[in-house]
Structure 1
């Protein structure tokens, strides 16, 4: 199954992924009447629950206007607990806008929220006038539902412009941060062991010569293989496979075609012996 969101419809759904066949049976999640959530990343933590971390649109805004991040949890994928805002732009000293797609990780007995945020104005009519800037931050908590705290008080880097982070922790506890970046797609960087900074330089991955426009990558491991999945051209969900989290990757094609004339955002997790 796959947790996904359509950024215009603002509706999170569950789909079943069985082998290479996809049963497209929408199951809108009852997260709250009228609640505008988007960009979901799902995680399963040691307490046995599935958690979904989302961005959150405020009402009656001209554009995507997101000021905080939310978390939801479930034990049966039918009823969900709303844990409210777990981090807000008001908690950050370096950003005041663009509380977009988050992800989360568990390491060293702590929970980490990795998130994009930024400053400036996006001019959709005259893009040359835009001053928008975004980067990636990280916050930590003793609880999967926060409150999360920005312990370093700054982004993990200022250049390149980046959003849509996805964090993967390998079997040896090394954390890797993937993202969508301006001129830097298909890059990954290692996280420090304390998760409060990055280690070394960006690693440009070998994608086998195929690097289409993308956003919102998601990486997971199943057996001995690593899977790099993404909305290709921001729409169709496709994947690569490798035997290392940094590649080289082999392109395998689509596993879900576009459903709406808008962007896709997805994640894939194993829960109670089944993949979602």
Structure 2
């Protein structure tokens, strides 16, 4: 009798606490966190600290105070089930930017030298003419991030940003410059400024993402169509300094990247295999709280990159292996 009561208690506890509520990653579906609420981490980025992944993004839930901008933080050990760690940024207008000021695409880096978590984000006015990056810092991955400053990297305008951390730990910022193209720059040792430019890709692209896979760098970008999806494209290079190959479609162009826009490529290196995850947003500009996420493993290697039709899938972060629903 006690055994059955204990089993019932554990089942109820797991159901209420949200433990293991997701068995697969379901691209384009509502993605419940440990509270059963749709994850609010739009335009986001992920870092891994020891065996825990931290996902940061724009908090777009309904009912937020319109005078503030919010960045949420979630944690996971399996990339499938996420615990809400709170809004690590609740920021009022930091530089008198006026009504409708913008904080977008937050990305966090951990600096081993200073032992600080450094958040970069796109900071702008309502008309997108300020075009700067903002920096906020914290002593903890899920702590409160304090605004430090904003600037234009290497004196260039900066709108959409992306992050890339190479296999040697070097940290890079990707940013869209409407006048020139797609910049990849190396951060200074303390991550509080830009050290140098690695590449200027002369293409009108935003939503920039880079991954290093088996000796090649792959860069993905999205055309400048605002909230509307478009065919994302990729190029390759043997060095971040280029030269970069011709850009090609990552998916059938008529799908408009399955109605999504790139935000990051996450490389999961395991004991048996390596999976590169295409992380993208499916924006709903009139219902931003309901914007969805399209995460799918990429077919990648030997200079080729392809995004297959989204389907539910699983990943084993320890082995690095993934399985599509058809094969489950």
Determine if the alignment matches structure 1 residue 102 to structure 2 residue 98.
no
1:114-133 pair list within 5 angstroms:
114-119=120-125, 121-122=126-127, 132-133=129-130
Q: TM-score, normalised by structure 2?
A: 0.61
In the alignment, the residues of structure 2 paired with residue 239 and residue 38 of structure 1 have an alpha-carbon distance, to the nearest angstrom, of: 22
In the other structure, the counterpart of 1:180 is: 176
In the other structure, the counterpart of 2:214 is: 223
Quick one: structure 1 residues 229 and 14, their matched pair in 2 at CA, closer, same or farther if it must change by over 3 Å?
farther
Quick one: structure 1 residues 166 and 261, their matched pair in 2 at CA, closer, same or farther if it must change by over 3 Å?
closer
Bigger helix fraction: 2
1:1-276 pair list within 5 angstroms:
14=25, 26-31=28-33, 33=37, 37-43=41-47, 45-57=48-60, 59=62, 67-90=69-92, 92-93=94-95, 97-108=101-112, 109-119=115-125, 121-122=126-127, 132-151=129-148, 153-157=149-153, 159-200=155-196, 202=197, 205=200, 211=203, 213-234=204-225, 235-251=230-246, 253-257=248-252, 258=255, 264-271=261-268, 273=270, 274-276=275-277
- Confirm or deny: 8 A CA contact 1:50 1:271 kept in the other structure: no
In the alignment, the residues of structure 2 paired with residue 14 and residue 180 of structure 1 have an alpha-carbon distance, to the nearest angstrom, of: 29
Quick one: structure 1 residues 237 and 42, their matched pair in 2 at CA, closer, same or farther if it must change by over 3 Å?
farther
Instruction: Work out which structure has the larger RCO, using CA pairs closer than 8 Å and 6 or more positions apart in sequence.
Output: 1
Query: Shift in Å at residue 252 of structure 1?
Result: 5.1
In the alignment, the residues of structure 1 paired with residue 201 and residue 261 of structure 2 have an alpha-carbon distance, to the nearest angstrom, of: 24
In the other structure, the counterpart of 1:128 is: none
Query: Shift in Å at residue 95 of structure 1?
Result: 5.0
Query: Shift in Å at residue 35 of structure 1?
Result: 6.2
In the alignment, the residues of structure 1 paired with residue 247 and residue 63 of structure 2 have an alpha-carbon distance, to the nearest angstrom, of: 41
In the alignment, the residues of structure 2 paired with residue 157 and residue 206 of structure 1 have an alpha-carbon distance, to the nearest angstrom, of: 15
Q: TM-score, normalised by structure 1?
A: 0.71
Query: Shift in Å at residue 249 of structure 1?
Result: 0.9
- Confirm or deny: 8 A CA contact 2:138 2:144 kept in the other structure: yes
Query: Shift in Å at residue 136 of structure 1?
Result: 0.4
- Confirm or deny: 8 A CA contact 2:132 2:151 kept in the other structure: yes
Query: Shift in Å at residue 165 of structure 1?
Result: 1.4
Deviations 1:115-149 (A, max 9, x none): 01123x33xxxxxxxx7423102222232223222
In the alignment, the residues of structure 1 paired with residue 79 and residue 235 of structure 2 have an alpha-carbon distance, to the nearest angstrom, of: 28
Residue ranges of structure 2 left out of the alignment (5+ in a row)? 1-23, 278-328
Q: Which has the larger radius of gyration?
A: 2
CA-based RMSD of the aligned residues comes to 3.3
Quick one: structure 1 residues 245 and 222, their matched pair in 2 at CA, closer, same or farther if it must change by over 3 Å?
same
Question: 3-state SS of the aligned residue for 1:163?
Answer: coil
Residue ranges of structure 1 left out of the alignment (5+ in a row)? 1-12, 16-24, 123-130
Query: Shift in Å at residue 100 of structure 1?
Result: 0.8
Quick one: structure 1 residues 190 and 73, their matched pair in 2 at CA, closer, same or farther if it must change by over 3 Å?
same
In the alignment, the residues of structure 1 paired with residue 38 and residue 67 of structure 2 have an alpha-carbon distance, to the nearest angstrom, of: 16
In the alignment, the residues of structure 2 paired with residue 48 and residue 60 of structure 1 have an alpha-carbon distance, to the nearest angstrom, of: 34
Deviations 1:229-260 (A, max 9, x none): 11245522221111112211113522234458
